[in-house]
Structure 1
Amino acid sequence: MTRAGPRSLAAGIVALEFAAAVTSFVASTLLPLVARDLNAEDRLGLLIAGSTLGLFVALPLASRVLARLGARGTLAAGMAAYLGGLVVSATSHSAAVFAWGQLATGLASGLLAVFGVSSAIRHLDDRLRVKVVAASSAMWILPALAGPAATLGLAHLVGWRWTLLLPVPFVLFGRLFVVRAARDEPEPAPRPLGRTLLVPLGAAGVVLSEGRWPLALTGAVVAGAGMVAILPAGTARLRRGTPSALAALVLFAVGYFGADSLITVLLTTGYGQGLGQAAIVLSAAPLAWAVTSLLARRHFPATGLGLTAAGTAVLAIGGPFPVALAAWTAAGIGVGLAYPALYVRASTAGSSGLTATELATAVITAECVGQLLGRAVGGALSSAGGLFASYAVFAVALAAAAAVSRR
């Protein structure tokens, strides 16, 4: 790689993260308009499921695609699937066709994510990777603040179908930088698929459960079994080094993203607040995460995760609105202190024996399946009347992540 290669790669990864943030807020903001236009108000689960399932399908297949197509071929295939999927969704006239288009975009996003992370593992030193992770977190600030309003304004002018294509220029811009740094490198023969296919199967059970929590929990267990097959040996036993860092990443995702998925329900149902106040609390943690990770000169995984656990535990106790706002903001600050260094530790091969592509797949799988588990467990507890109890569980998971991160 040339001297400009690492810089181009870093810029491309950050730009693609910005594109992912724009895509997320555009999709969530347009969902009511899409559902109404496609007469699918009672099929929201199907409209949402496509992109999530596409991501989980990509994870066990990514190493095979990279081995067969190489770096530039994978980038080309990913972009073709992404653009094709958006076009299918934007021109759809039924919920099923829209979901198939979203499945293609999710699949492409998964391939591009594995490629980006594996390239960063190969070509960026730890210090630069910490900066890239921090900058990537900060890329969610502007879309979080301006994305929904800008999306609704554009949809009012040109309709949701054209607005759905809004992320395309940002994705192309990121790909331009990444492709400058990309080069084909020999890939070892991928490991057998085997139980790794349980990941998309279990994910399907969770995202298509539509409130049926026994199905969601069963899907989470199945996805967890597939995750074990992807993560390096010794992860479940908390072996020191990369396996323990990956285990901490799973526990972090269970605790933080599980809590984040229910925060508006907690504020409106548990705290008796209005949707406006709940939205303020909802945005507090991710904004605090992004700003802290960008401005902090040093990062402390155990300390940060401990702070996040404490903030989540306060939410489990209850109290007035200012307490909830302060607690969830503190939780976001903790993530900002913890996440960049934890992510770099989890994506450093060490003695794990994994290739860069396998390690990238393991990192993304750990985080995504952790989110899935947290949301499934939280949904099951809250539906059984244990909304505050679910936050106690999330706090325990985060405290365990803090302890494991010390290994």
Structure 2
Amino acid sequence: MLASSLIFIEFLGGMQRYLSQTVLPLVAADLDGAHLYGPLDAAAQAPTFLMMPVGAWLLSRYRVGRLMVVFTVVTVVGAVMCAAALSMEVFIAGTAVRAVAGGALATIGMGAISRGLPPRYRQLVLAGMSGIWVFSSVLGPVYAVSASQAFGWRWAMLLYLPLLLVARVLVARYMPERTEEVPEEKAPWAWAVVLATGSAVIALPLGAWSAAAVAAGALLMLRATAAVLPGGTFRASSGRRAALTALMVTAAVYFGATMVLSVVAHDVFGLPAGRFGYIIAAPGFTWAVAALWTGSHPASQDGAFRRRALLAGTVITTGVGVLLLTTSLEPAASSAFVGLLVGAALMGTGMGMLYPDLLGRCLARPETDDGISDDRMAAAVVIAESVGLAIATTAAFSWLGTGLGVVEDPGRRAQVLYLALLPLAVVMLGRLAAAARGERARVRQ
């Protein structure tokens, strides 16, 4: 029941992601807030980063079930604020409330997987959580577009919440509590504040100085991340620490390219929601299909993981190249639809080939103790992935929304975005190769 509930929560999380992508341009048009894409994304990220680093502390002090219920209620409050918003500022405030809960629940959910399931079940749940996106990627956009057209985007944000509440209550009910004594984790509040501040600084609308804000915010986030992740993570050339940096860079490439697809399709090529719904569904669907096999056939040995990871990284990089070519040629809407769809599908396929193994490599305890507890690693996985996602997507949304005071043409902005992601994809390939190496030596704490 615990495993099934966790997979169902992932299904609803996928639905929610597609809903957010679908309604974003609709909300901006309704509330006259297209110029606030960056601050809106920062409102979704900064509170998340305030809560994620203290997740290990929460897990060591409180019952998982109680944490699930409390933060689910906070999620509902934020969703109601968004649905009732009469201005973009109120919508941003509601988004921030949801993000507070989301940051805590991300770590708590990973802790439930790490703590509540034996290794074999853990691997199957990770595979199931990737595979369930086959349904999320189809039903999510269908629900988002249908509900938005039939009832409006406000009701679309509320109708699925009862199912989410039931699923999290089931996790709370069936989650086994820890029986052994463990040291209480410290709550890194200071670095959590720095992390949250950095994610907000990236989106500051400073006109010609916006580029400097993006750079300063990214540096703040990376400095705080280095402090809250296990010691030596950024310097590691092997083992689970190297896998964490690979996860962070891979997330930056993938989400930086795909999370903005609705904005690129709508603002650059004029595609309506009914058409760009297919585009934003494509990466999740192909990710899920690929992960159904790779997740159930894990590449646990170093050599097998290396071959699979580098092939997957190459597919992701090719997807970025297709998206760059599509935005550079500036084709007609029908051709742009095909180009964006193919690029998105390639990126999702690469992630499906890679993600279950990369996540499993982080969570599996090595034969030689590397000094990272289960709760610490659960928090580290969520932080690493989310930092890569946040830096890339907040910078991308700010760039697409304003051009950082440098570029006016929306099409040119999209071209520059995908061009900038190509060298980052090369870095990703290098970090994946490092993650494929077994633990060479104990990293000094």
| TM-score scaled by length of structure 2 | 0.77
2:441 maps to 1:404: no
Aligned residue in 2 for 1:136: 129
2:362 maps to 1:346: yes
Query: 1:47-66 to 2 correspondence within 5 Å?
Result: 47-66=40-59
**1:290 pairs with one of 282, 288, 291:** 288
2:397 maps to 1:389: no
Query: 1:189-338 to 2 correspondence within 5 Å?
Result: 189-193=184-188, 194-209=190-205, 212-261=210-259, 275=271, 283-296=281-294, 297-299=296-298, 300-313=308-321, 329-338=345-354
Aligned residue in 1 for 2:305: none
Query: 1:29-48 to 2 correspondence within 5 Å?
Result: 29-48=22-41
**For each residue in 1:190-228, what CA deviation from the matched residue of structure 2 results, as whole angstroms up to 9, or x when unmatched?**
225233432111111224458823212211111111111
**2:381 pairs with one of 325, 339, 363:** 363
Q: Which stretch of the first structure deviates more once superposed, 320-329 or 124-133?
A: 320-329
CA distance in 2, matches of 1:365, 1:33: 30
2:19 maps to 1:26: yes
Are the aligned partners of 1:307 and 1:330 in contact in 2 as well (CA < 8 Å)? yes
AA aligned opposite 2:373 = T
Deviation at 1:325, TM superposition (A): 5.8
**1:372 pairs with one of 348, 366, 390:** 390
Could you say if the C-alpha distance between residues 274 and 160 of structure 1 is closer, same or farther in structure 2, counting changes exceeding 3 Å? Answer: closer
AA aligned opposite 2:426 = V
AA aligned opposite 1:234 = G
Are the aligned partners of 1:207 and 1:216 in contact in 2 as well (CA < 8 Å)? yes
2:9 maps to 1:16: yes
Deviation at 1:146, TM superposition (A): 3.7
Q: Which stretch of the first structure deviates more once superposed, 124-133 or 55-64?
A: 124-133
CA distance in 2, matches of 1:53, 1:220: 12
CA distance in 1, matches of 2:391, 2:214: 9
Aligned residue in 1 for 2:304: none
Q: Which stretch of the first structure deviates more once superposed, 14-23 or 258-267?
A: 258-267
CA distance in 1, matches of 2:393, 2:151: 35
AA aligned opposite 1:396 = V
Q: Which stretch of the first structure deviates more once superposed, 24-33 or 372-381?
A: 372-381
**For each residue in 1:164-197, what CA deviation from the matched residue of structure 2 results, as whole angstroms up to 9, or x when unmatched?**
2123123123213311222443563322523343
Give the % identical residues: 27
Could you say if the C-alpha distance between residues 317 and 124 of structure 1 is closer, same or farther in structure 2, counting changes exceeding 3 Å? Answer: same
Could you say if the C-alpha distance between residues 348 and 142 of structure 1 is closer, same or farther in structure 2, counting changes exceeding 3 Å? Answer: same
CA distance in 1, matches of 2:68, 2:230: 26
**For each residue in 1:262-295, what CA deviation from the matched residue of structure 2 results, as whole angstroms up to 9, or x when unmatched?**
66788899xx977488776654433211111013
Are the aligned partners of 1:15 and 1:170 in contact in 2 as well (CA < 8 Å)? no
Q: Which stretch of the first structure deviates more once superposed, 245-254 or 307-316?
A: 307-316
Aligned residue in 2 for 1:91: 84
Q: Which stretch of the first structure deviates more once superposed, 75-84 or 345-354?
A: 345-354
CA distance in 1, matches of 2:80, 2:378: 29
CA distance in 1, matches of 2:62, 2:142: 40
AA aligned opposite 2:194 = L
Q: Which stretch of the first structure deviates more once superposed, 201-210 or 250-259?
A: 201-210
2:182 maps to 1:182: no
Deviation at 1:36, TM superposition (A): 4.9
CA distance in 2, matches of 1:210, 1:157: 38
**For each residue in 1:228-272, what CA deviation from the matched residue of structure 2 results, as whole angstroms up to 9, or x when unmatched?**
112112212224321111111112112222233466788899xx9
Are the aligned partners of 1:220 and 1:372 in contact in 2 as well (CA < 8 Å)? no
Are the aligned partners of 1:155 and 1:163 in contact in 2 as well (CA < 8 Å)? yes
Are the aligned partners of 2:287 and 2:349 in contact in 1 as well (CA < 8 Å)? yes
Deviation at 1:359, TM superposition (A): 1.3
**For each residue in 1:21-62, what CA deviation from the matched residue of structure 2 results, as whole angstroms up to 9, or x when unmatched?**
222222333334444554545434444443333322211232
AA aligned opposite 1:309 = T
Q: Unpaired runs of 5+ in structure 1? A: 1-7
CA distance in 1, matches of 2:206, 2:259: 15
**For each residue in 1:371-398, what CA deviation from the matched residue of structure 2 results, as whole angstroms up to 9, or x when unmatched?**
2333467658975974553242133123
Are the aligned partners of 1:14 and 1:132 in contact in 2 as well (CA < 8 Å)? yes
Deviation at 1:116, TM superposition (A): 1.4
Deviation at 1:326, TM superposition (A): 5.2
**1:76 pairs with one of 69, 76, 84:** 69
CA distance in 2, matches of 1:175, 1:372: 25
| TM-score scaled by length of structure 1 | 0.83
SS of residue paired to 1:93: coil
Aligned residue in 1 for 2:443: none
CA distance in 2, matches of 1:42, 1:386: 19
CA distance in 2, matches of 1:394, 1:348: 27
